[in-house]
Amino acid sequence: MEFIANVVLASLICLTAIDALLVFTSVNPIVVTRDVNARLNLGDDNKVILTVRNTTPQPINFSLIEGYPVEMQDRKTVLKGTLLPEKEKVFEYQYDASQRGKFEFGDVFIIIRSMFFMASRGVTIPLKQDVHVYPSVLQMKKYELLVFQQQKTSSGIKKIRRLGNNSEFEQIKNYVQGDDLKSINWKATSRRNELMVNQYQEEKSQSIYCIIDKSRNMQMDFDGLSLLDYSINSSLVFSNIALRKGDKAGLITYSDKIGTLLAAEKSAGQMRRIHESLYNQKTQFKESNFEILYQSIRQTIRSRSLLVLFTNFETEFSMRRAIPMLRRLNQKHVLVVIFFQNSELQEIAYQPSKNIKEVYTSVVAERMISLKSKIARELRQNGIQTVLTIPSELSVNTINKYLELKAKGSI
């Protein structure tokens, strides 16, 4: 019996030694690579691909801990698998970037074992990598396609017939059937002895500014993004549409003082400048100063422009404090005030109540929703174009308002 025990013990020792030899012999038994874009999109799922390759002539079991950015708060996920000799395994996951700025992927830690599971080895693979989260280019391209292709109505983007007469002369041409008889040029017709008409094109190169409030009212969080970041993504989308429409796009940010002031242009590099400016926006969590905003716009923007102001009013008092400056801006420019309805309150207000507490909560939510509508109504009574929207529909509603104003010839 003792002999058998000794044989078994000797076999285990020998097997462990062989296992340890197999695991520790190779200097780099596993190679791991990470494929992720250096520029990620805010508020979107960004693909990350990890490739694990076995460089040894034997099968290997492994457990891998990815060096996720601290912001992901993921410390539990372990990727596991078995690799045959000279084979690889691919893992894919999504990094949902909810903040702008610079973030770091860390080193990868991996534990490897041979098929005998008698010994294991921990290996740290240096894979530190910096990435930058920018306002979403994916959303910018998405809405560009919706506006300029034949998908407008079904996707929420309205196709609006142009009204008004905000156009400029382009050329005189021969009349063809279907031309507007009102555009006949009688002087040119008498000279040529044939019908000639004036051809017009839509007036372009109008100045359009996105104005972003960076005060503490814009720090409320919905579905992982603050109102400020929703406004930043929407400003990128909207500026791109305006430039593609032939207008000049600019950017102003402010809180208790003016932050960025980027003059409206339609040059080739303007979209890149707007993108970089939006990436760098930070808040000091101060109160918004509409007096400083008015003075700055008065001094720097001389021509009549469309001002799209992204802000948020939580009380009637804060709105009424801003109205005198907003009315002054609206006298010289076309001002559109865009502020936010709390989408979470809507869910609370309209869900069935099961007890007294839920009834009370529902009533309070309805009153807060009603307050927002009252604020929007008072702004409109003061002659100010107003859009009240939930955060998820911000870009669609901003674009629709722009197309509506273009159609009416207001800008």
pLDDT in tens, 264-310: 999 889 999 999 999 989 887 889 999 999 999 999 998 999 999 99
CA distance 66 to 74: 9
As a whole-number percent, the residues of the chain with pLDDT over 70 amount to: 82
Q: Flag whether pLDDT at 33 surpasses 90.
A: yes
Question: According to the model, what pLDDT value does residue 161 have?
Answer: 45
Q: Where along the chain do the CATH 3.40.50.410 domains lie? A: 137-162+204-408
Residue pair 331/360 in contact (Cβ under 8 Å)? The answer is no
Mean pLDDT, residues 344-358 taken together: 70
CATH topology of domain 26-134: Immunoglobulin-like (2.60.40)
At residue 379, φ and ψ (nearest 5 deg) are: -60, -45
Question: According to the model, what pLDDT value does residue 356 have?
Answer: 72
Question: According to the model, what pLDDT value does residue 20 have?
Answer: 56
Question: According to the model, what pLDDT value does residue 218 have?
Answer: 93
At residue 274, φ and ψ (nearest 5 deg) are: -65, -45
How far CA 337 is from CA of 132, 293, 407, in Å, comes to: 31, 14, 19
- Among 287, 297, 291, residue whose Cα is nearest residue 323: 291
* Structure tokens, 378: 């008072």
CA distance 361 to 348: 7
Question: According to the model, what pLDDT value does residue 406 have?
Answer: 84
Q: What angle do CA 156, 157, 160 make, to 5 degrees?
A: 130
As a whole-number percent, the residues of the chain with pLDDT over 90 amount to: 45
Q: Where along the chain do the CATH 2.60.40.10 domains lie? A: 26-134
Mean pLDDT, residues 137-166 taken together: 64
Superfamily of domain 137-162+204-408: von Willebrand factor, type A domain (3.40.50.410)
Question: According to the model, what pLDDT value does residue 26 have?
Answer: 66
For the chain, the three-class secondary structure string (H helix, E strand, C coil) is: CHHHHHHHHHHHHHHHHHHHHHHHHCCCCEEEEEECCCEEECCCEEEEEEEEEECCCCCEEEEEECCCCHHHCCCCCCEEEEECCCCEEEEEEEEECCCCEEEEECCEEEEEECCCCCCEEEEEECCCEEEEEECCHHHHHHHHHHHHCCCCHHHCCCCCCCCCCCEEEEEEEECCCCCCHHHECHHHHHHHCCCEEEEEEECCCCEEEEEEECCHHHCCEECCEEHHHHHHHHHHHHHHHHHHCCCEEEEEEECCCEEEEEEEECCCCHHHHHHHHHHCCCCCCCCCCHHHHHHHHHHHCCCCCEEEEECCCCCHHHHHHHHHHHHHHHHHCEEEEEEECCHHHHHHHCCCCCCHHHHHHHHHHHHHHHHHHHHHHHHHHCCCEEEEECHHHHHHHHHHHHHHHHHHCCC
CA distance 48 to 65: 14
At residue 258, φ and ψ (nearest 5 deg) are: -75, 135
Beta bridge partners of residue 379, listed in sequence order: none
Q: Flag whether pLDDT at 106 surpasses 70.
A: yes
Question: According to the model, what pLDDT value does residue 340 have?
Answer: 94
